[in-house]
Structure 1
Amino acid sequence: MPAKDRFKHLKANVPSLVLPAKKTSPLPPIVDLPDATTIQIDDKSVKLSKTELYDVSEIGRGQFGQVNKMTHMVTGKVMAVKRIRVTPDQAKSKSLLMEWKVPKNSVECPYTILFYGAFFCENDVWICMELMDRSLEELYHLVYDKLKESIPELVIGKMALSTLKALTYLHDKLNVMHRDVKPSNILINQNGEIKLCDFGIAGELVDSLAKTDIGCRPYLAPERIDEPQHEYDHRSDVWSLGITMYEIAMGEFPYPVDTLRSIFGLIEMIVKGSPPRLTSDRFSGEHKDFVAQCLTKSRDSRPRYKDLNAHSFIQTIENTGVDMHCWYTTILTKYNDDLPPDKTEPSATNVPELVS
Structure 2
Amino acid sequence: MIGHTLLPNQSLKSHPSLAKSRTSKIYNSTQLMEQKSNDEKTRLKGVLDKFVGGFSQGNPPTVSMSTMDISSPYNTRHVTHVGFDATTGEFTGLPKEWHTLLKSSGITQIEQEQNPQAVINAIEFYQESSRDDAVWQKIPNKRDSSASSILKNSGGGNAITNSLRRLSKLKLSDYTKRASSSSITASPRSSIIEKSNNTSEISTSIPEEETPVVKRRQAKQPSQSTDVVSQLKEICINKDPKEIYHNMVKIGQGASGGVFIAHRQENIPVAIKQMNLDQQPKKELIINEILVMKKSQHPNIVNYLDSYLWKGDLWVVMEYMEGGSLTDVVTCNMMMEGQIAAVCQEVLQGLHHLHSKGVIHRDIKSDNILLSMKGDIKLTDFGFCAQLNENEAKRTTMVGTPYWMAPEVVTRKEYGAKVDIWSLGILAIEMIEGEPPYLNENPLRALYLIATNGTPKLQSPESLSDVFKDFLSKCLEVDPELRPSAEDMLKHPFLSLADPLRSLSPLIRAAKEIEE
- How far residue 332 of structure 1 moved from its aligned partner, in angstroms, is 5.0
1:117-128 mapped onto 2 (5 Å cutoff):
117-128=306-317
Query: 1:58 — aligned with what?
Result: 251
1:1-356 mapped onto 2 (5 Å cutoff):
27-28=226-227, 29-31=230-232, 32=234, 33-36=236-239, 49-53=241-245, 54-62=247-255, 64-72=256-264, 74-87=265-278, 92-107=282-297, 109-132=298-321, 133-143=323-333, 150-173=334-357, 175-206=358-389, 207-226=392-411, 228=412, 230-259=413-442, 261-262=443-444, 265-278=445-458, 279-314=460-495, 316-317=496-497, 322-325=499-502, 327-331=503-507, 345=516
Partner deviation per Cα, 1:62-104 (whole Å, 9 max, x = no partner): 3x333222222x4322111112333597x72221112211111
Q: Structure 1 residues 284 and 269 mapped into 2: Cα distance closer, same or farther (>3 Å)?
A: same
Helix, strand or coil at the partner of 1:163: helix
Letter in 1 for 2:403: P
Point out which structure has higher relative CO (alpha carbons under 8 A, 6+ apart).
2
- How far residue 162 of structure 1 moved from its aligned partner, in angstroms, is 0.8
Partner deviation per Cα, 1:149-194 (whole Å, 9 max, x = no partner): x111111111101111111111102x11101111100011111101
Letter in 2 for 1:191: K
Q: Structure 1 residues 335 and 128 mapped into 2: Cα distance closer, same or farther (>3 Å)?
A: closer
Partner deviation per Cα, 1:317-342 (whole Å, 9 max, x = no partner): 4xx5x3322x3333355567x77xxx
Q: What's the RMSD between the two structures over aligned residues?
A: 2.6
Helix, strand or coil at the partner of 2:481: helix
Moved more, 274-283 or 214-223: 274-283
Q: Is the 8 A contact 1:277 1:288 kept in 2?
A: no
Letter in 1 for 2:261: K
Q: Is the 8 A contact 2:277 2:314 kept in 1?
A: yes
* Structure 1 portions without partners, runs of 5+: 1-21, 37-47, 144-149, 346-356
Q: Is the 8 A contact 1:277 1:292 kept in 2?
A: no
Q: Is the 8 A contact 2:342 2:500 kept in 1?
A: no
Measured in 1, the distance between the counterparts of 2:254 and 2:282 equals: 15
Q: TM-score, normalised by structure 2?
A: 0.52
Partner deviation per Cα, 1:246-276 (whole Å, 9 max, x = no partner): 11122232224333x22xx134311112422
Helix, strand or coil at the partner of 2:430: helix
Helix, strand or coil at the partner of 1:286: helix
Letter in 2 for 1:50: K
Measured in 2, the distance between the counterparts of 1:222 and 1:23 equals: 39
Measured in 2, the distance between the counterparts of 1:232 and 1:304 equals: 13
Measured in 2, the distance between the counterparts of 1:301 and 1:243 equals: 17
Helix, strand or coil at the partner of 2:355: helix
Measured in 2, the distance between the counterparts of 1:286 and 1:270 equals: 24
Measured in 2, the distance between the counterparts of 1:23 and 1:294 equals: 47
- How far residue 222 of structure 1 moved from its aligned partner, in angstroms, is 0.8
Q: Structure 1 residues 218 and 25 mapped into 2: Cα distance closer, same or farther (>3 Å)?
A: closer
Helix, strand or coil at the partner of 2:231: coil
Partner deviation per Cα, 1:120-164 (whole Å, 9 max, x = no partner): 122122111111121111111121xxxxxx111111111101111
- Report sequence identity in percent: 26
Q: Is the 8 A contact 1:85 1:123 kept in 2?
A: yes
Q: TM-score, normalised by structure 1?
A: 0.73
Q: Is the 8 A contact 2:421 2:485 kept in 1?
A: yes
Moved more, 304-313 or 234-243: 304-313
Helix, strand or coil at the partner of 2:399: coil
